[in-house]
A and B are shown apart, each in its own frame.
Chain A
């Protein structure tokens, strides 16, 4: 699904911040991407999301060589990737419904199907009664769940989440991770970047730990919640 082979990355002419990354994200897998703040987690996620290209090495996303990928081929690939941004990136001038409906509208779905899918996904994240609210009217945790709903509504092959529990308390953080597990059971591969080690210790999924630009694969936590 996503394959890194000796990938290195630097911003412009700055120092290399990711070194010799080699890892494979398989369909249906679940990974936590951990590391201290500034370790390069967001950069690695952005490379998976095609927002950044490797400065060396080989990166393949859904079988496409990202280094040689033409701009016109990116939209179709991006529609197969769900992304939960650290800052949510919800559009404040649109309702919760319209925010979540964006990926479906971009994919050209019929309005009847959009209404059904968006209503269903918002109920799944526990926000079925906020369809017409604007994001500003919601709490941080609710906005996070709207962002998750938008990322998964088009049933992507892989979901990337950047610090999805960063702005919510422990209980809501756990609830969000449970949502991701449910989604994973339906076949979506999950990669969650987080520095909240205490939270992920409760989940048994594999960890990819970034340390000083190097990626190390670690075994999962105990899985007690």
Chain B
């Protein structure tokens, strides 16, 4: 069936529609990309820190400590960190090679934990206290838990913001459709009197909104992709604490669904709104 041309909207109205759709899509993609990045940071921290514990002891008790650790289930590796390596690690913090060399250092033992069946930190601490009085177990839990909680909260907030953007977009699209219907009220009443169904009228409005929506969606997607690629390229110096800012192919696939989803959302909301309002007109 051929299209029925409704009264043209003002150019500024159409431009506003494209702008709003584009911004919503760009914001949605950026927020989801941020949430995906936080998830990767969360996972990286979890793997890097939670499967490595550290035991602090004295050089005299090092062998006893290693013996106690190697007989504990759930520990897959034990390594006494050489003093030279410790000094090397401290160098960036103290900025003085002489001071680092003279500094009395404890003996640190790097403990590799079996991720699948990790030992209980509390039980291991008790075992060490009994076998080597003075040895201290650090499972990094006190600060990694807070960091992970922050990362998880950031991810959740990102998803909530994305949902809020989608809701705002839907409400904006519905308001735009209502305005267009109000402008074309006489045309709709005439079409009804000539035998048009409410579904046909809604379909015509949907078709009329299609072009502006596609332009807005594509613009928003290109804008967001440019920002993401720019941030990824400049990530290490820009964002400290995050060694690598990256998105997996699966993340890109999810982000690519945002414009598609936005297009479908816009068309469905336009159709539903137009259908609902057309039903109320004689």
Q: Interface on A for B, CB 8 Å cutoff?
A: 49, 51, 71-72, 75-79, 83, 85, 89, 91, 93-94, 98, 102-103, 105-108, 111, 114, 150
A136 to chain B, nearest CB (A): 14
Tell me, yes or no, whether B187 is within 8 Å of chain A by CB. Answer: yes
B156 interfacial by beta-carbon distance below 8 Å:
no
User: What's the nearest-Cβ distance from chain B to residue A128, in Å?
Assistant: 22
State whether the Cβ of B194 lies closer than 8 Å to any Cβ in chain A.
Answer: yes
CB-based closest 9 A-B pairs: A79-B195, A78-B195, A75-B195, A75-B197, A108-B1, A105-B2, A106-B196, A89-B190, A103-B194
Tell me the complex Cα distance, A71–B196, Å.
11
Note all chain A residues with C-beta closer than 8 A to B198.
71
**Cβ distance B231 to chain A, nearest Cβ, rounded Å:** 46
Chain A's closest residue to B282 (CB) is A51
Q: Among the listed stretches B4-12, B159-167, B258-266, which one makes contact with chain A, having 4 or more residues with CB under 8 Å of it?
A: B4-12
CB of B194 within 8 A of CB of A102, answer: yes
The total number of A-B Cβ pairs within 8 Å is 53
- Not counting A78-B192, A103-B194, A106-B195, a sample of 15 additional A-B residue pairs whose C-beta atoms are within 8 angstroms of each other reads A49-B193, A72-B197, A75-B192, A75-B197, A77-B195, A79-B194, A79-B195, A91-B187, A98-B5, A102-B4, A105-B4, A107-B195, A111-B2, A114-B2, A150-B194
Do most interface residues of chain A lie in helix, strand or loop, or is the interface mixed?
helix
Asked if B191 is at the interface of the complex by the 8 Å CB criterion, the answer is: yes
Instruction: List the interface of chain B (C-beta within 8 A of A).
Output: 1-2, 4-5, 7-8, 186-187, 190-198, 200, 279, 282
Note all chain B residues with C-beta closer than 8 A to A89.
186, 190, 193
Report chain A residues within 8 Å CB of B282. 51
Instruction: Tell me, rounded to whole Å, the shortest Cβ–Cβ distance linking B3 to chain A.
Output: 8
User: Which residues of chain B come closer than 8 Å to A98, judged between CB atoms?
Assistant: 5
Min CB gap B266→A, angstroms: 24
Cα distance A79–B200 when bound, in Å? 14
> Are A71 and B279 in touch, CB under 8 angstroms?
yes
Cα A213 to Cα B30 with chains together (Å): 67
| Cα–Cα, bound, A141→B193 (Å) | 22
A107 to B200, CA, bound (A): 11
Residue from A49, A83, A91, A93 whose CB has the most chain B CB atoms within 10 Å: A91
* Central interface residue in A78, A106, A107, by most chain B CB within 10 Å: A106
B192 surroundings in chain A (CB, below 8 A): 75, 78
Residue on A with the closest CB to B200? Answer: A106
- Our pick among A72, A76, A78, A94 for the contact of B193 (Cβ within 8 Å) is A78
Give A3 to B206 CA distance when docked, in angstroms: 39
The CA-CA distance from A94 to B6 in the complex, in Å, is 9
